[in-house]
Amino acid sequence: MILDGKCPTGPIEKTWDKHRFDLKLVNPANKRKYKVIVVGTGLAGGAAAASLGELGYNVEAFCYQDSPRRAHSIAAQGGINAAKAYPNDGDSIYRLFYDTVKGGDFRAREADVWRLAQVSNNIIDQCVAQGVPFARDYAGYLDNRSFGGAQVSRTFYARGQTGQQLLLGAYSALSRQIKEKTVKMFPRTEMLDLVVIDGVAKGITVRDLITGEIRVHMADAVCLATGGYVNVFYLSTNAMGCSVTAIWKAYKKGAFLANPCYTQIHPTCIPQVGDHQSKLTLMSESLRNDGRCWAPKKKEDSQKYPGDIPEEDRDYYLERKYPSFGNLAPRDIASRAAKEQCDDGRGVGPGGRGVYLDFQTAINRVGEHTIKERYGNLFEMYEKITAEDAYKRPMRIYPAPHYSMGGLWVDYNLMSNIPGLFVLGEANFSVHGANRLGASALMQGLADGYFVIPYTISGYLASIKAGDYSADHPECKKSIDDVKANINKMFSIEGKKTVSEIYRALGRVMWENVGMARSKESLEEALKEIPKFREEFWNDVNVTGEGGDFNQQLENAGRVADFLEFAELMTRDALIREESCGGHFRIEHQMPDGEAKRDDENFCHVTAWEYKGVGNAPEQHREPLKFENVHLAVRSYK
């Protein structure tokens, strides 16, 4: 099937404005007749629930945390992009659009990316009005800093706590709507199935994580804003509760899953120090504004104290390889470059899996006080974890799984191929292509929640009858029965393996074979191993406790069971994409200098997968990508 993204035509500068005008509207008096479910309360979900509630819709919002304030968006550090051009350094909406398309290695839709760039300025105005404490310069104006993949300063920030501050802004707006009773909040509740009636999304089946109750919630439309899936690697920078479950359940009910092989490895994370770790810690990309990445030139120097290695024996590899962008090269490029140094035997720290991020030059230039003002909390966090003072000794960093560019397929209206199912933020595939530029995740989440879904969902709701659903429908009972049967099946196994043992083993295979560098051989090896873990899980896992109660063992088991299925689809997608692009790096497809080698003739498209049932291979669909405003070119940051 050739998929239609329903992108508007005409001059790209006018597409979003014209599309908004052409959308059908729901008048204010009728909005209160419609109910909308929002799953996930991070930046995308929280902003969407607050905005839809403010418009007058009845909203039910769900999160598995004890409060929307604990959504993983709170962990974002470095900033949020917008094309306001305050530094007067040549930025514009078009340049943000261009950098994002190029940064994604020409694997995203132009129309979606243009809209993202266009509404970016509105996001900053909205957040300032909410009281978000963005950094300001000496004169009191909003300050900006640079991020990877751009040669302008367009990133607004609140030290290293930008995600936290933005989430608190969205949470304040959400709290207002909860008080106004336009939004009903369901914390500690996990979505375990999508209810589809006659091909239309009409509700979700959830488990109350405190009482264990399984129940259905019905609505006129469902919005999934449940984040990404990089915890398939076990170790990642994501919160441990982040999972693929919500979008995977939607996939198994017919929603297409697009580009699952596109995952991002972040270049600046604290290296793993042992097998006891359950997650990795991100160090913001903003640190590369003042920090310089280097590794020893000589292998024998790799275990020396960094201060004992003279300047002439240090390889500032990003500055050497990419002089135009230097330490602010995009994440996929910077990650592979760090891996190259370590693979060459010049890595530092335990196991030789690390490179240095050195601030001495910046401290000498602007003083330690200024560096503390910019990044103080990040330095404090690094010292708490490593017991090292990064003002005196360079940070040790290494790449780690961080973000998902792939996700459920959506059209220009953010609606999946299932009518009534909308997907927002990291859970959809739409704007980042094969690589996300730094500070663009927060931009997409808030753009989708505040400025896209409030318009596009009205076009759908205006075409249907309000309240045309019933919790007594046979599909609701079937969904509840299926969820209960799956839970009972896990309890009945009573094997010898813990969920964590199997999960850790899956993550190791995924990281080694489907991680930063992939090959035909490594992907085929993963496809041999993954079914073994799945078989081991369903025959020998031990899930303790009971279903009708608070049971985190059960929660983890359900999420791992979904990862065991999703991992195979992700690997299959990586195997059939015979090219290198962005974060998807196939060893067989690289330039003579080691850069990614795209194949635009055969792979300039979105790959969307359709579930065809247990034991059957998924069906592949494609959406061709057209580039009329940013012409296809070899991506270069040199």
Alpha-carbon dihedral angle through residues 64, 67, 69, 72, given to the nearest 10 degrees? -20
CA 224 to chain centroid, in Å, comes to 13
Q: In this structure, are residues 194 and 184 in contact, taking their beta carbons and an 8 Å threshold?
A: no
List residues bridging with 190 in a β-sheet: 207
List residues bridging with 214 in a β-sheet: 207
> Left if phi > 0, otherwise alpha if psi is -120 to 50, otherwise beta: which for 387?
left
Cα–Cα distance for residue pair 182/169, rounded to 1 Å: 18
Q: In this structure, are residues 409 and 431 in contact, taking their beta carbons and an 8 Å threshold?
A: no
Cα–Cα distance for residue pair 637/617, rounded to 1 Å: 39
List residues bridging with 61 in a β-sheet: 38, 185
Query: Residue 392 in 3-state DSSP?
Result: coil
Query: Residue 282 in 3-state DSSP?
Result: strand
Amino acid identity for residue 331 in this structure:
R
> Is residue 622 among the annotated active site residues?
no
Tokens standing for 547?
Answer: 């279903």
Strand 355-358 to 257-258 pairing: unpaired
Q: In this structure, are residues 457 and 448 in contact, taking their beta carbons and an 8 Å threshold?
A: no
Catalytic residue among 331, 336, 374, 518: 331
Strand 183-186 to 58-62 pairing: parallel
Tokens standing for 49?
Answer: 């629930």
389 CB-near residues (< 8 Å, 6+ apart): 379, 383
CA 142 to chain centroid, in Å, comes to 26
Active site residues: 331
